[in-house]
Amino acid sequence: MHKLIPNVAPGTQGFNDIAASAFDYSALDQANEAVRLRLNSTVVGVQETVNNRVVVDYVQEGSPLSVTGDHCVLACYNGAIPYLCPQLPEPQKEALNYGPKVPLVWTNVLLKNGHAWSKLGVSNVTCPDDPYVVLTVAPPTTTGGHQPPRSADDPMVVYMLGVPNVAVTGSETSRELCRTARHQVYATTFETYEREIRDQLQGVLGKHGFDHETDITAITVNRWPHGYAYEYMALDDPKWEEGQAPHEIGRAQFGRISIANSDSEAYAYLDAAVDAAWRAVQEQSRTKG
Ligand X SMILES: Cc1cc2nc3c(=O)[nH]c(=O)nc-3n(C[C@H](O)[C@H](O)[C@H](O)COP(=O)(O)OP(=O)(O)OC[C@H]3O[C@@H](n4cnc5c(N)ncnc54)[C@H](O)[C@@H]3O)c2cc1C
- Report in angstroms how near the CB of residue 215 gets to ligand X at its nearest: 26
Contacts of 256 (CB under 8 A, 6+ apart): 48, 52, 53, 54, 70, 71, 72, 284, 287
Of the pair 95, 116, the CB lying nearest ligand X is at 95
- Interface residues with ligand X (CB under 6 A) are 42-43, 75-77, 80, 104, 106, 224, 227-228, 261-262, 268-270, 272-273
- Compare residues 42 and 141 and give the one whose CB is closer to ligand X: 42
Sign for the pseudo-dihedral over CA of 277, 280, 286, 289: negative
**Closest CB to ligand X among 66 and 206?**
66
Q: Please identify, using beta-carbon distances, which residue of 86 and 206 lies nearer to ligand X.
A: 86
Question: Please, what is the minimum distance in Å from the beta carbon of residue 152 to ligand X?
Answer: 27
Between 31 and 270, name the residue whose CB sits nearer to ligand X.
Answer: 270
Distances from the Cα of 85 to the Cαs of 46, 72, 96, in angstroms? 5, 11, 11
- Minimum gap (Å) between residue 280 Cβ and ligand X: 11
Least Å from the CB of residue 235 to ligand X:
23
CB 143 to ligand X: min, Å? 16
Cβ-contact 230, 101 below 8 angstroms? yes
The H or E element containing residue 42 is strand 41-48
Separation in Å, CA 69 to CA 29, 33, 55, 57, 180: 19, 19, 7, 11, 38
- Residue among 28, 85, 88, 90 nearest 57 (CA): 85
